[in-house]
Amino acid sequence: PARKKVELDPRFVNYKHVWVFIEAERGVVHPVSWELLGEGRKLADALGVELAGVVMGPPGERTRQICGEAFHYGADLCYLAQDEVLRDYRNEPYTRALTELVDTYQPEIMLLGASTLGRDLAGSVATTLATGLVADCTELVIEADSRNLASTRPTFGGSLLCTIMTQRHRPQMATVRPRVMAMPDADTARSGRIVEHKLAIIESSIITKVLEFIPDAQQDKPQLAFADIIVSGGRGFKKQENFQLVWDLAKVLGAEVGASRPIVQAGWVELDRQVGQSGKTVRPKLYIAAGISGAIQHRVGMDGSDVIIAINNDPNAPIFDFAHYGIVGNAMQILPALTEAFRAQ
């Protein structure tokens, strides 16, 4: 049935442009910000408006440099808010700063990464602004008729995709998980303009204080999201000792090890290695899925991979519906054979 047309609240008619929140902690930008600039560029072009990065952080050269990097990844301009209250991420000053920027410069669309920081910030900003937020989107398009942002995300445990629109309020907000969108190429010749915004937030008005900054001790935790090759194993391996075959193949290929959820739940590998809806989203050049059925909750985390090779003894396993190459056979025999073949090279 035709959708009932909903008019935009007249208070928001002047809201324009597409914004991407550039997430940086201690001067290190989360790559999801660049992925979102790539996506934001398409939305801005579809609307015929500018694409802006929002850079917030402590005073200093590094915070300003981040604007330059945002231009390389497609931003036309950057809103820059530098203040001591923004040194380390805290929800309250960041929410106040971002809502102040929104109220002042009025973006039509605002995208944030669905990282730990982005999820925390997006929720409180959307609540403060009383606007709509669609979390964990897998697709963002501008609807031709209404020019609204149509944000698609999995629902009902990943078995359905739903498309949600914020019709009466602005900005239209969405978060996207790292690696869901492709990384754009950086053009180091590109530049843009910086709009500096002076905040009026006083430290004594913020109820949380940073007492100490303790870097993540687990520096060597798996970097699945940005791996070029991943060898993933599933319940087809049956016993924990058989899962060693996945590690062996990964080692000769210089790959990361991934797993389906039952393997993580059984405690064979740590949670950081789970691929899928409730785990990591990955986009490697090569994804080898062995003994994995290809349930939708696994698929949504890996079907952006360039090449998927499935190894499964059931020729009707759903994974063969979307794998680029399939081997029907016993993973317990095929993996050691592949490991030997690559080792011999």
Per-residue contact string for residues 13-32; x = within reach of ligand FAD by CB under 6 A: --------------------
Residues 36-55 that bind ligand FAD (CB under 6 A): none
User: Counting contacts by CB under 6 A, is residue 278 touching ligand FAD?
Assistant: yes
User: Counting contacts by CB under 6 A, is residue 234 touching ligand FAD?
Assistant: yes
Give CA–CA dist 160/147, Å, rounded: 24
User: Counting contacts by CB under 6 A, is residue 332 touching ligand FAD?
Assistant: yes
Annotated binding site for FAD: 235, 260-261, 274-278, 291-298, 312
The least CB distance from residue 316 to ligand FAD, in Å, is 9
Cis ω before 171 (30° cut-off from 0): yes
Closer CB to ligand FAD, 54 or 231, in the complex: 231
Applying CB under 6 A, which part among 49-57, 66-74, 162-170, 326-334 lies near ligand FAD? 326-334
Applying CB under 6 A, which part among 107-115, 141-149, 174-182, 268-276 lies near ligand FAD? 268-276
The least CB distance from residue 224 to ligand FAD, in Å, is 12
Closer CB to ligand FAD, 147 or 238, in the complex: 238
Residues 93-132 that bind ligand FAD (CB under 6 A): none
Give CA–CA dist 125/103, Å, rounded: 11
The least CB distance from residue 103 to ligand FAD, in Å, is 37
User: Counting contacts by CB under 6 A, is residue 261 touching ligand FAD?
Assistant: yes
Applying CB under 6 A, which part among 58-66, 127-135, 169-177, 258-266 lies near ligand FAD? 258-266
Binding-site member from 163, 191, 240, 330 for ligand FAD (CB under 6 A): 330
Annotated binding site: 235, 260-261, 274-278, 291-298, 312
Binding-site member from 235, 247, 251, 326 for ligand FAD (CB under 6 A): 235
User: Counting contacts by CB under 6 A, is residue 59 touching ligand FAD?
Assistant: no
CB distance 319 to 313 below 8 Å: no
User: Counting contacts by CB under 6 A, is residue 286 touching ligand FAD?
Assistant: no
Binding footprint of ligand FAD on the chain (CB under 6 A): 157, 234-236, 260-262, 274-279, 291-293, 295, 297-298, 301, 311-314, 317, 330-332
